[in-house]
């Protein structure tokens, strides 16, 4: 059976982009793949995190995964820092990856911003840790959004160089799994920026913990343009906000964007926004109820993470041993 590794950073409130672009798709994968779903807390600390919030966010991400339908009995759900093999393999792969490769990573440039000299070494080496996450389990497939494609290419380069350097086909070639509708949810305040946990504006995102009032308010205030909604996707040219809101509707209702255009084309944004808010509330409410129930039982959530870590550790151990032997560690 093919094996999948996927991660979410516990860096803040999960939002609709994380749900529609990642977690919801993972739920669908669990029937066809052996899956490891990881709360990547070691990635999170590449930017400073408040320790208490990091712990709470780690539990929240695990709760969101389970509340969305990921079954902890059939899949491995764990937090990365509980399996030290991630850090160990990352170091070995740091010695395989080339500085020039990392210098080309666009996400580092975006996240480091103008103050590059002040970014952590961890933020720069982030893609190597991601390669280690995947290769530690010899994962064959990784579900990725557009923004992570470059990092996955790097994982393939690192794996190939390792195999070449040591003349051994140790690591498999990892394939991306790219999803269709809802892969990229954009900010409600600016349809050209992606919805993100770290956007300073709360209004830019619908979070997995927003109540019905907050969802309705954020959708009502979402940026739009003065025209009526287009009757077909060709009408999205130069209208990123219309494309985003109608795309969210299509993803939430599991319909084609063309169908949404047919149903709402010619209408004012105000009427459509009411339907979108109602749909978002209806889809998120059962997940939120279950999330709240799980968050009220932190011992259960931590038990799932600890149990998952044990299974992950057992899966990683022979692969790491093979790597250590190959590299020449006694
Ligand atoms: N806006 C988005 N649309 C679709 N998918 C998204 N993902 C994130 N934002 C969107 C997907 O969610 C998964 C987990 O992402 P992550 O937590 O590892 O970090 P990220 O991609 O950097 O997400 P954020 O929310 O923007 O966090 P911050 O602000 O901390 O950087 C990934 O599969 C990602 O593609």
pLDDT tens per residue across span 33-49: 999 999 999 999 999 99
Q: Taking residues 143-169, what's their average pLDDT?
A: 93
- Per-residue pLDDT, averaged over 14-19, amounts to 94
Residue pair 190/172 in contact (Cβ under 8 Å)? The answer is: no
Is it the case that residue 182 has pLDDT exceeding 60? no
Q: Which among 73, 109, 111, 114 is annotated as catalytic?
A: 111
Would you call 194 a catalytic residue per the annotation?
A: yes
User: Which protein residue's CA is at the shortest distance from atom 12 of ligand 1?
Assistant: 18
Q: What local confidence, expressed as pLDDT, does residue 113 receive? A: 87
Ligand 1: which of 143, 196, 245, 247 to mutate, most ligand atoms within 8 Å of CB? Answer: 196
Residue 192 domain-assigned (yes or no): no
Structural domain span for residue 263 = 202-292
Same domain membership, residue 221 and residue 169: no
Residue 219 resides in a domain: yes
Helix 121-135, helix 149-165: angle, nearest 10? 70
Residue 190 falls inside a structural domain: no
Residue nearest ligand 1's atom 35 by CA: 145
Residues 314 and 272 in one domain: no
In this structure, the answer to whether residues 147 and 226 fall within a common structural domain is: no
Cα–Cα distances in angstroms (integers) from residue 220 to residues 112, 128, 191, 229, 279, in the given order: 33, 41, 15, 15, 13
Residue 198, pLDDT above cutoff 90: no
- The pLDDT value given to residue 34: 96
| 22 Cβ closer than 6 Å to some ligand 1 atom | yes
- With a pLDDT cut of 90, the percent of the chain lying above it is 91
Residues in the chain: 330
In this prediction, residues 126-134 reach a mean pLDDT of 98
Query: Residue 72: CB within 6 Å of ligand 1?
Result: no
Kindly give, in sequence order, each residue whose CB lies less than 8 Å from that of residue 240, ignoring residues fewer than 6 positions away: 186, 190, 191, 192
254 plus 303 within the same structural domain:
no
Task: Indicate if ligand 1 lies below 6 Å from the C-beta of 111.
Answer: no
Q: Which residue has the higher pLDDT, 196 or 178?
A: 196
Active site residue 197: yes
How many distinct structural domains can be found in the chain? 2
Q: Does 191 fall in a domain?
A: no
The reply to whether 274 and 161 lie within a common domain is no
On whether both 120 and 228 belong to a single domain, the answer is: no
312/36 Cα distance (integer angstroms): 8
Q: What is the dihedral of CA 215, 217, 220, 224, to 10 degrees?
A: -80
């Amino acid at each position: 059976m093919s094996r999948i590794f996927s991660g979410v950073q516990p860096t803040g409130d999960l939002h609709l982009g994380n749900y529609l672009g990642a977690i919801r798709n993972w739920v669908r994968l669990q029937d066809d793949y052996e899956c490891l779903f990881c709360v990547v807390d070691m990635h999170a600390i590449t930017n400073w995190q408040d320790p208490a919030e990091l712990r709470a966010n780690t539990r929240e991400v695990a709760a969101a995964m389970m509340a969305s339908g990921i079954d902890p009995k059939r899949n491995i759900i764990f937090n990365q820092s509980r399996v030290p093999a991630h850090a160990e393999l990352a170091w070995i792969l740091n010695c395989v990856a080339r500085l020039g490769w990392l210098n080309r990573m666009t996400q580092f440039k975006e996240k480091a911003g103008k103050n590059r000299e002040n970014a952590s070494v961890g933020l720069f080496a982030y893609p190597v840790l991601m390669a280690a996450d995947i290769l530690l389990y010899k994962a064959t497939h990784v579900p990725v959004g557009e923004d992570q494609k470059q990092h996955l290419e790097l994982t393939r380069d690192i794996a190939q160089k390792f195999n070449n350097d040591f003349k051994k086909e140790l690591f498999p070639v990892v394939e991306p799994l790219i999803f269709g509708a809802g892969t990229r949810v954009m900010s409600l305040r600016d349809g050209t920026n992606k919805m993100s946990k770290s956007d300073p504006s709360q209004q830019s995102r619908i979070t997995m913990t927003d109540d019905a009032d907050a969802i309705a308010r954020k959708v009502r205030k979402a940026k739009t343009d003065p025209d009526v909604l287009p009757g077909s996707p060709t009408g999205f040219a130069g209208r990123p906000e219309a494309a985003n809101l109608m795309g969210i509707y299509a993803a939430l209702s599991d319909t084609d964007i063309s169908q949404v255009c047919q149903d709402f084309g010619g209408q004012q944004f105000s009427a459509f926004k009411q339907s979108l808010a109602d749909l978002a509330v209806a889809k998120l409410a059962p997940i939120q109820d279950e999330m709240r129930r799980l968050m009220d039982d932190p011992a259960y959530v931590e038990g799932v993470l600890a149990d998952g870590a044990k299974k992950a550790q057992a899966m990683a151990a022979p692969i790491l041993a093979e790597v250590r032997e190959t590299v020449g560690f006694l």
